[in-house]
């Protein structure tokens, strides 16, 4: 199965390195480590998994495009200002006049994260608002389970994945399922079965896998994702590192040691560097080692995006291999 993916990686053409479809949100992260019900003060950050990957890709010299929707409000203006500041294209960001920007409230914690979602404009992206012709220009097309949790954006994302698959693009999917975001688990699994017909690469976390399939061991989780259709599965396991499978063998990637403060967005950084590494010709183990190092930069700070010096350190580290 992985041979097909690597053939795509070697031959795929496009001026866009990654086309991400999904949420861009205002992340509100607590200023102290207490349960959300006790917290009164938050800091606001740029967020949303597809948006984070877009941001990281841009900072690391790649050409990403984000397709998403925000509200016509202060949080939407904040997110647009971040895109402007970092010269990230807003061409495919739509603005909802009657919906607020999606907000996610996070507890500041590494091992016991807690969150609440106020879902807004991102879920209301419609077919008529998307220029599907840009799929032909992309090398990788990416989305996630959060995006799939609501209509009409679900069908938009499914259409994008199907067209990407038909065009021979590399299809990437983050199954970041949470019951509180998508309480109809039966519908979620039905949708994932539709999604994984098109998926080459997927990155579940242990929390994602546990919420979808209950308590299993890591290799059993990986087999579940292969059985859905994924060709390469990367299971991130927090402090226990990550486990990569190509359907034939497993590769264990140890975690890089760091002073962890908060885990929001660490998986997005891991996946960004993993995908960049594959595009640049690395094998799975090397891509995993580079990605593991990059993820430590996020958990060592607050919020999902980094300072320029951090990105430069990651780029330098990647160049050592």
Distance of alpha carbon 193 from alpha carbon 204, whole angstroms = 15
pLDDT in tens, the chain (321 residues): 678 999 999 999 999 999 999 999 999 988 888 888 998 999 999 999 999 999 999 999 999 999 999 999 999 999 999 999 999 999 999 999 999 999 999 887 656 678 999 999 999 999 999 999 999 999 999 999 999 999 999 999 999 999 999 999 999 999 999 999 999 999 999 999 999 999 999 999 999 999 999 999 999 999 999 999 999 999 999 889 999 999 999 999 998 765 554 556 689 999 999 999 999 999 999 999 999 999 988 875 656 577 888 898 899 989 887
User: What's the DSSP call for residue 14?
Assistant: -
Give yes or no for a contact between 161 and 200, defined as CB atoms under 8 angstroms apart: no
DSSP state of 257: P
Cβ contacts of 36-40, under 8 Å, gap ≥ 24: 36/105, 36/107, 36/114, 36/115, 36/116, 39/107
pLDDT of residue 307: 81
Burial of 93 (0-12, 13-18, 19+ CB in 10 A): buried
pTM of the predicted protein model: 0.94
**3-state DSSP call for residue 10?**
helix
Tell me 205's DSSP state: B
**Tell me, what's the pLDDT at 110?**
54
Which H or E run contains 70? strand 64-71
CA–CA gap between residue 128 and residue 70 (Å, rounded): 16
Burial of 26 (0-12, 13-18, 19+ CB in 10 A): buried
How far apart (Å, rounded) are the C-alpha atoms in residues 139 and 163? 13
Assigned token pair, 66: 């984000």
Q: What one-character DSSP code corresponds to residue 101?
A: P
Question: Which fold does the domain 2-318 belong to in CATH?
Answer: 3.40.1190
Cα atoms in the Cβ-side hemisphere of radius 13 Å centred on 320: 9
DSSP SS3 for 49: helix
């Amino acid at each position: 199965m992985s041979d097909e993916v690597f053939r795509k990686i070697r031959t795929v053409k496009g001026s866009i390195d990654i086309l991400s479809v999904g949420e861009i949100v205002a992340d509100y992260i607590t200023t102290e480590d207490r349960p959300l019900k006790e917290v009164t003060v938050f800091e606001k950050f740029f967020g949303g998994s597809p948006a984070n990957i877009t941001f990281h890709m841009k900072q690391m010299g790649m050409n990403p495009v984000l397709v998403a929707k925000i509200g016509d409000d202060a949080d939407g203006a904040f997110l647009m200002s971040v895109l402007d500041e970092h010269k990230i294209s807003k061409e495919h960001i739509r603005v909802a006049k009657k919906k607020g920007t999606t907000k996610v409230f996070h507890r500041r914690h590494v091992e016991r994260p807690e969150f609440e979602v106020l879902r807004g404009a991102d879920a209301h992206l419609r077919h008529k608002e998307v220029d599907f012709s840009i799929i032909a220009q992309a090398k990788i097309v990416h989305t996630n389970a959060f995006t799939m949790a609501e209509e009409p954006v679900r069908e938009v994302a499914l259409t994008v994945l199907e067209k990407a698959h038909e065009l021979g693009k590399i299809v990437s999917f983050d199954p970041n399922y949470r019951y509180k975001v998508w309480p109809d688990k039966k519908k979620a699994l039905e949708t994932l079965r539709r999604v994984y017909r098109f998926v080459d690469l997927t990155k579940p976390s242990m929390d994602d896998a546990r919420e979808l399939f209950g308590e299993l061991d890591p290799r059993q989780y990986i087999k579940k994702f292969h059985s859905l259709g994924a060709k390469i599965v990367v299971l991130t396991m927090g402090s226990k590192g990550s486990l990569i499978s190509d359907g034939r063998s497993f590769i264990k990637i140890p975690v890089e040691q760091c002073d962890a403060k908060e885990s929001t967005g660490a998986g997005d950084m891991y996946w960004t560097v993993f995908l960049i590494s594959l595009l640049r010709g690395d094998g799975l183990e090397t891509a995993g080692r580079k990605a593991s190092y990059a993820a430590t930069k996020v958990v060592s700070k607050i919020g999902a995006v980094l300072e320029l010096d951090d990105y430069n350190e990651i780029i330098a580290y990647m160049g050592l291999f």
